[in-house]
Amino acid sequence: MTTLNKVVTSLRKEYSRLDKELGRVGKALDALGHAGGNTLKKTGRTLSKEARRRIAEAQKLRWAKVRKQAAKLVKS
């Protein structure tokens, strides 16, 4: 049984060492993950100037409609 106890003790020590090492690796990944800003890869799409203009015009029309409805409610 003493051999089994030695094996268990050895495994627990190794587990503890690996747990500490994983903590260090996690900290390193966190530091590297934020090195370039919030994300490391580029996301999203690039819109053309014309597409941005159309979207802005559509949004202006939506807000104008909202303001018109609000004005009707205030008059009532």
pLDDT in tens, 29-56: 888 877 655 555 667 788 999 999 999 9
Q: Which domain holds residue 10?
A: 1-34
> 6, 13 in Cβ contact below 8 A?
no
Of residues 20 and 39, the one with the higher pLDDT is 20
Domains held by the chain: number? 2
The answer to whether the Cα torsion of 14, 15, 20, 25 is positive or negative is: positive
Residue 65 lies in a domain: yes
Distance CA 29, CA 72 (A): 56
The pLDDT of residue 32 is 80
Residue of higher predicted confidence among 41 and 5:
5
Q: Let me know if residue 41 belongs to a domain.
A: no
Same domain, 75 and 52: yes
CA within 13 Å, CB half, 3:
0
pTM of the model: 0.41
pLDDT score of 45: 83
Across the range 9-21, mean pLDDT stands at: 94
Query: What is the spatial distance between Cα 33 and Cα 45, in angstroms, rounded to a whole number?
Result: 22
